[in-house]
Structure 1
């Protein structure tokens, strides 16, 4: 019986061995994109090895298609990885350990790059560190140069004339979900300014997206209609992106697209845009000195996010949009190409 066909970019675990480096970051879209910079450091640390990312198939295949990694081993969370020959290098970009260390050690690596825990020497974990800086620090300590600038998937590209504003009202948990009525108020005001609005979201967020877009002539509801690659293309062609602290915000950062990001239970010092501060506005009503904030997975709106007003978001969006300089139109055909000319 022939083996089941594998999706492009998906790696057969039976082929992972001494010529490979296996990186664990089996998390969501935002985590994947904040992991791009350290992944590039891993590439520099092991330049001759195939770079395999253990991650959810969709985001892993997308990163493989972009050349950030060479292949993906489908994985989610801290579930056990498939059996493999061993002898590869392993890099833990998933967690502080020890459980995530154990997942990788069970695959038989000849070397493990990871934060220090009982039984493993490595750099100390710091809780109060930006997500991008944290993992770059780990990889640099192992000998792989990298920094926040490595998270970019492209340089800033001027938005085309008439580019829409992408509005992404959803988030995985209620604590990071700004009220739909407030998003609607922002969308109506931007539409009155003459902007087109594209509303995005997952299929599970259809009701939320409808509350923002329905009946608004300038709004196009694309919730649940976009693949990851199509979402990235939509964000990449936007004049600006408005969202809370969720994966789409990290897509905007990676593609150097202007954004306004609303924060609540998690401070932007940990998860905000790590590059291009002139392109990204963060809104947060937390106390940076508090040391402890809300629960990003709670099922009620975080009070810090709830304190953000539609007026603030609209003002920030207008400020970013005022900086948009449309890409120049293509040059007309040269006269020599016209028929009848010598």
Structure 2
């Protein structure tokens, strides 16, 4: 083949499953940035709810958002993935096995995920239920030789002026102690 007839090289793709809410995406920012540094030539595709696209872009780590969601904290039934299998898939959604199986169904060349007895083919690190999310996802990547800093979570200041200067945003999250958003407005308003 001559250079004139050689096919265009394809960009390797890295798929990250994090199809949860805003707080979950923010807790995953250090891991997303670590993946960006570890795989600088890959297109980093984040499978997450479509409404999180602006936040995903603000991380500076994500090249493209693949819309994906499920009711509650469930795992999407499928992903609208096209083309060849991902070169790397990373399960930042949970500890499996549904999220493992979803990603394994795409036949990635490499899958980074926590170990689970129902998916013995994944030789990942153990899952610790009480571990903080940022630490958990960074530890997962570290187990695969990827340097990850749980403190790397700041987002850049927006370029546009705030519609509410001086305002402070609190995001209690659905799972925080005391009920979070499940506690209702009266509980959250006391803060």
Equivalent pair of 2:33/2:59 in contact (CA under 8 Å): no
- Structure 2 Cα separation of the partners of residues 129 and 108 of structure 1: 29
- Structure 2 Cα separation of the partners of residues 54 and 242 of structure 1: 25
Name the residue aligned to 1:234. Answer: 162
Higher gyration radius (CA): 1
TM-score (norm 2): 0.75
Equivalent pair of 2:173/2:180 in contact (CA under 8 Å): no
TM-score (norm 1): 0.44
Q: 1:43 to 1:66 in 2, by over 3 A?
A: closer
Equivalent pair of 2:11/2:41 in contact (CA under 8 Å): no
Q: 1:309 to 1:107 in 2, by over 3 A?
A: closer
Name the residue aligned to 1:107. Answer: 106
**Greater mean deviation of Cα atoms: 59-68 or 36-45:** 59-68
Equivalent pair of 1:18/1:87 in contact (CA under 8 Å): no
Name the residue aligned to 1:132. Answer: 134
Deviations 1:296-316 (A, max 9, x none): 675x55xxx95x995xx4xxx
- Structure 2 Cα separation of the partners of residues 72 and 309 of structure 1: 33
Which runs of no fewer than 5 residues in structure 2 stay unpaired? Answer: 1-9
Which is helix-richer, 1 or 2? 1
Equivalent pair of 1:61/1:72 in contact (CA under 8 Å): no
1:51 aligns with 2:29: no
Higher relative contact order, structure no. (Cα contacts within 8 Å, ≥ 6 residues apart): 2
C-alpha displacement of 1:133 = 1.0
Return the match for 1:142 from 132, 141, 144: 144
Q: 1:297 to 1:101 in 2, by over 3 A?
A: farther
Q: 1:238 to 1:142 in 2, by over 3 A?
A: farther
Number of positions where the alignment pairs a residue of Structure 1 with one of Structure 2: 173
State the superposition RMSD in angstroms. Answer: 3.2
